[in-house]
């Protein structure tokens, strides 16, 4: 059984998803890859993981860096999981390029090269926005390229973290 909870952020509605124990999704409502079917087939309930995640979001949207991360479980490919693990290492208020992430993945896999475009696809399909900070990934020249939640939200999230845009 899938469970959802709706959160109202300063940037619009956010849908949280859980299997009943851990966080399995967090999307801005209407963002690219928003799981319409999941939402339609889920029950809205109060769960401890939603309370914890709402606490995290409240701290984050108050302009502070949360000192904990809700427990997350991802049903994804090993490649995407590797990308998301790297995203979790990007410090609050800082960024990393798609190419830098591709280089880390290549080194981890003992490969000569990894496609920054493949990394971009994985980043775009991040099922736990904000907490897994895909908004902290920028283009090779530092430009704010792509964001499934829309570029205006990416800009707002980085400004909230006091990143110099």
Active site residues: 134
User: How far, in Å, CA of 63 to CA of 133, rounded?
Assistant: 15
Residue with tokens 């956010």: 14
User: How far, in Å, CA of 110 to CA of 8, rounded?
Assistant: 43
Residue 49 to residues 16, 17, 41, 42, 100: CA-CA distances in angstroms? Answer: 10, 9, 19, 16, 32
User: How far, in Å, CA of 163 to CA of 157, rounded?
Assistant: 9
The DSSP element (H or E) to which 17 belongs, if any, is: strand 12-18
Q: Apex CA 13: angle with CA 76 and CA 32, to 5°?
A: 45
């Amino acid at each position: 059984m899938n469970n959802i909870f709706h959160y109202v952020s300063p940037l619009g509605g956010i849908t949280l998803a859980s299997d009943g124990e851990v966080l399995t999704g967090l999307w801005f409502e209407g963002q690219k890859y928003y799981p319409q079917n999941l939402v339609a087939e889920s029950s809205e309930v109060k769960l401890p993981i939603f309370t914890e995640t709402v606490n995290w979001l409240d701290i984050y949207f108050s302009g502070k860096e949360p000192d904990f991360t809700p427990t997350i479980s991802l049903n994804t490919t090993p490649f995407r999981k590797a990308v998301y693990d790297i995203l979790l290492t990007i410090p609050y208020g800082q960024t990393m390029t798609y190419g830098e992430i591709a280089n880390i993945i290549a080194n981890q896999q003992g490969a000569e090269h990894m496609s920054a475009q493949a990394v971009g696809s994985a980043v775009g399909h991040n099922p736990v926005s904000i907490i897994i900070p895909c908004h902290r990934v920028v283009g090779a020249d530092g430009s704010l390229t792509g964001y499934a939640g829309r570029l205006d939200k990416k800009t707002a999230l980085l400004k909230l973290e006091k990143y110099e845009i």
